[in-house]
Amino acid sequence: MGVEQVLGHIPALRRYARLLTGDATRADDLVQDTLERACVKWALWQPGSVLRSWLLSLMHNLHMNHLRDWRHDDGHAALEDAPESAHDPTAEAAERMDLRQALAALPPPMREVLLLVTVEEYTYAETADILGVPVGTVMSRLHRARERLRKLMMDNGQVRRPMPLQLVKR
């Protein structure tokens, strides 16, 4: 594998992994596992296809495997995702924490679709290809994720603040 081919995709992999896991250390581990898997499975990548999408598909599959393994491992029952301390003690830090917690509260299939479409700016078709699901499933999960996120960001029926994510329709 040409290292130079993959290097440009590492920031996107780190960003997506961080949003999936909610933890910098676990995200770095997921990126490392993804890059290792890419090295081992390099012959499966089809030249001419989008390398970034292939890498994100590998990451998605690894993350789902980790979640499945974690649920069956009783030793991790005591581990909880603790919110990280904000580096900037401004009012925006609280909003970021609310959004991070709301994203973490979404079921993984909804969170993945929401992040791929709104953060990574993939089309519905590209997202469906990365996740290995039909386009209709992507649209349904995205709609449900947006609605649930709105509800999670509300307090007693009143919106606390405007939505910090730009949720665009494709």
Q: Which pLDDT band, with edges at 50, 70 and 90, does 155 fall under?
A: low
DSSP 72-138: H-GGGTT---PPPPPSS-SHHHHHHHHHHHHHHHS-HHHHHHHIIIIIS---HHHHHHHHTS-HHHH
146 and 98 housed in the same domain: yes
Where in the sequence is the domain holding 143, given as residue range(s)?
Answer: 88-170
Residue that is last in its domain, among 59, 82, 105: 82
Number of domains in the chain: 2
Q: What is the pLDDT of residues 107-130, one digit of tens each?
A: 989 999 998 898 888 899 999 998
Model confidence, pTM:
0.53
Do 158 and 116 share a domain, yes or no?
A: yes
CATH number at residue 146: 1.10.10.10
Tokens at residue 4, please?
């130079």
Residue 93 has pLDDT above 80, yes or no: no
Last residue of a domain, one of 51, 67, 82: 82
Q: Give the model confidence (pLDDT) of 49-75 as tens digits.
A: 788 888 888 888 888 888 777 665 544
Percent of the chain with pLDDT strictly greater than 70: 72
Q: What's the confidence (pLDDT) of residue 71? A: 60
Whether 95 shows a pLDDT value over 60: the answer reads no
Rounded distance between C-alpha atoms, residue 15 and residue 93, angstroms: 18
Residues 49 and 113 in one domain: no
CB neighbours of residue 159 within 10 Å: 10
Residue 83 has pLDDT above 50, yes or no: no
Judge if 22 and 94 occupy the same domain. Answer: no
